[in-house]
Chain A
């Protein structure tokens, strides 16, 4: 792997964590509120 790509990898990983958390929160904000109050 070349050096610029290597340097970008940790930031890409950080972005993937943020995307994962946001997507999870977004998805479950659709499913849970109505289902939980039923």
Chain B
């Protein structure tokens, strides 16, 4: 808290201004005079956010689409998918194709985020932004295939619609590199703990009842996450 207070200068340089050699930082219409060094640093720091925030968001999207979602589709590691996709596609032109909603392994996607095509030798299911998945090759004899369920009607919008539709087995596919999911889980828990601490140290003293509500909601989410991670390990 002492550190936060000493760092706090009541605004940032991008919302502030310089007048007659005096430096002001601003926040929501209130301005505070600071030293030139503090003002320049605040400016650099504020500009750096425009780089680090989009980068962090893009990284989250990349990890979700590249590793987390695929690991929800098939949790076990094996490189079996791509050759089989080609085999199914080359068995003949698509008899039917469409976009729909459904569940692939543990991943639920709304319509029209799943693209399904039916070929003589099987199905190919392509979740948006991700690699296509073939239907399970019975001869390869994978013991516990993951299952895709998708609605028969291409107009289906919700994953729940998939319950009434088609269902088929998926072979195992590439899993996330070691440590990535564990590190993300730990980081997520740390962020949760940090938010609860911020709630107790800052939100409750300054916001009162609103702070209590905020902190309790965050604490609830964090507890649920901790229980989930502990159960999975």
Contacts and interface: CB of A to CB of B under 8 A. Distances in A.
A37 B191 contact: no
Nearest to B38: A30
Contacts of A18: 187
Contacts of B206: 36-37
B27 A31 contact: yes
**Chain B contact residues: over half helix, strand or loop, or mixed?**
helix
Nearest to B187: A18
A21 B52 CA distance: 8
Interface in A1-38: 7, 9-14, 16-21, 23-27, 29-38
A5 B193 CA distance: 33
Query: Which 7 residue pairs are nearest across A and B when measured between Cβ atoms?
Result: A20-B56, A13-B59, A34-B10, A35-B27, A33-B8, A16-B59, A34-B8
18 contacts: A9-B62, A10-B62, A10-B63, A10-B177, A11-B179, A16-B52, A17-B60, A20-B56, A23-B48, A23-B52, A27-B45, A29-B8, A30-B8, A30-B9, A33-B8, A34-B5, A34-B9, A36-B207
Interface of B: 4-5, 7-12, 27-28, 30, 32, 42, 45-46, 48-49, 52-53, 55-60, 62-63, 66-67, 176-177, 179-180, 183-184, 187, 191, 194, 202, 206-207
